[in-house]
Amino acid sequence: MAKAKRTATETPRRKGSARNPRSWVRRGVGWLAFIVMAVLVLPYLLIPLYAWNQVRPVSTLMLAETASGRSYERQWVDFDSVAPVLVQSVMMSEDGQFCTHSGIDWEALNLVIDEALDGEATRGASTIAMQTAKNLFLPRTRSVVRKALEIPMAMWMDVVWSKRRLMEIYLNIAEWAPGVYGIEAAAQAYFGVPAAKLSARQSALLAVTLPNPIKRNAANPSRGMLRLAGIIEGRARQSGAYIKCLYD
């Protein structure tokens, strides 16, 4: 009888132990889903906060530098303390339709999609708003998923922020050289002048550095960089009609 009782009491224990792993798996999946949703929603909550001029956001790359124990240079500078020719050069190099679109240059993006579907080599179609979304909230790795996440974030930024605020944040979080973030630190590092004193040629060289700040050096430009800088310098001189949203 004692043996039978022990068996009876042991049976429920085995059933309970079989259920526990499944319960933990369900809890783990639930928490993972919660974390994923929180990560996806958080940018849309932070973007209105970043509309305040007193807030100086940092990029994911800056956070990664801090997490890895590396130091970086970044000096925040207000939009009005940046040479207009630098703003003109960056706009003409990175996003010529910045003032007219709502965060996304749909014409350029559709062209890239058509080229990809045709198996052709594609060019970039990222607007300044899309690049800002990537720099603030997303990893650097290129993927269709990242691009899909950039688009609604960029549109939300364009709704919540003024064009001046968007450009101000972009110029202050962009990487201009390894460990150098923001236009003020870049101007000092490359040319030893504040961002307000950049010349037309210096501004053009900085603008063409942006697509690849790891390999391109504005203070020691290659022939290709000099050629591109000459083109951007010319476009910047003629950009008056394109930058009214920033200076009117």
Q: Which CATH number is 91's domain given?
A: 1.10.3810.10
- Residues 172 and 88 reside in one and the same domain: yes
Residue with tokens 């509309």: 51
* Range in 17-26, 133-142, 220-229 the model is least confident about: 17-26
pLDDT at position 122, please?
Answer: 42
- Residues 135 and 220 reside in one and the same domain: yes
- Residues 10 and 74 reside in one and the same domain: no
Phi-psi region of 29 (alpha: psi -120 to 50; beta: other; left: phi over 0): alpha
CB of 246 closer than 8 Å to CB of 163: yes
Q: Is residue 11 in a domain?
A: yes
Domain boundaries, position 29: 1-46
> CA 87, CA 85: separation in Å to the nearest integer?
5
Q: Is residue 117 in a domain?
A: yes
User: Which amino acid makes up residue 211?
Assistant: P
Give the rounded percent of residues in the chain with a pLDDT score beyond 90: 67
Give the rounded percent of residues in the chain with a pLDDT score beyond 70: 80
> CA 205, CA 202: separation in Å to the nearest integer?
5
From edge to edge, which strands make up the β-sheet containing 73-74? 73-74, 180-181, 175-177
- Residues 123 and 17 reside in one and the same domain: no
Q: Is the pLDDT of residue 201 over 80?
A: yes
- Residues 101 and 35 reside in one and the same domain: no
pLDDT interval class at 39 (50, 70, 90): low
Q: Is the pLDDT of residue 90 over 70?
A: yes
pLDDT at position 71, please?
Answer: 92
- Residues 39 and 108 reside in one and the same domain: no
* pLDDT tens digits, 91-141: 999 999 999 999 998 887 776 565 555 554 444 578 999 999 999 999 888
The pTM score is 0.83
- Residues 191 and 213 reside in one and the same domain: yes
- Residues 23 and 69 reside in one and the same domain: no
Return the higher-pLDDT residue of 24 and 3.
Answer: 24
* pLDDT tens digits, 71-86: 999 999 999 999 999 9
Q: Is the pLDDT of residue 17 over 50?
A: no
pLDDT interval class at 248 (50, 70, 90): confident
Q: 175 phi and psi, to 5 degrees? A: -90, 125
What is the Cα gyration radius of the chain?
A: 25
Q: Is residue 55 in a domain?
A: no
- Residues 75 and 155 reside in one and the same domain: yes
Q: Is 119 exposed, middle or buried (0-12, 13-18, 19+ CB in 10 A)?
A: exposed
- Residues 75 and 196 reside in one and the same domain: yes
pLDDT interval class at 88 (50, 70, 90): very high
Q: Is residue 51 in a domain?
A: no
End-to-end CA distance of the chain: 95
> CA 34, CA 48: separation in Å to the nearest integer?
22
pLDDT at position 1, please?
Answer: 47
- Residues 108 and 210 reside in one and the same domain: yes
Q: Highest-confidence range of 37-51, 110-124, 165-179, by mean pLDDT?
A: 165-179
Q: Is residue 52 in a domain?
A: no
Q: Is residue 134 in a domain?
A: yes
* pLDDT tens digits, 148-162: 899 999 999 999 999
Phi-psi region of 174 (alpha: psi -120 to 50; beta: other; left: phi over 0): beta
> CA 157, CA 144: separation in Å to the nearest integer?
20
Q: Is residue 190 in a domain?
A: yes
Q: Is residue 28 in a domain?
A: yes
Question: What is the domain count for the chain?
Answer: 2
> CA 10, CA 116: separation in Å to the nearest integer?
63
pLDDT interval class at 144 (50, 70, 90): confident
Residue with tokens 């179609």: 125
- Residues 42 and 77 reside in one and the same domain: no
3-state SS record for 93-158:
HHCCCCCCCCCCCHHHHHHHHHHHHCCCCCCCCCCHHHHHHHHHHCCCCCCHHHHHHHHHHHHHHH
Mean pLDDT for the chain overall: 86
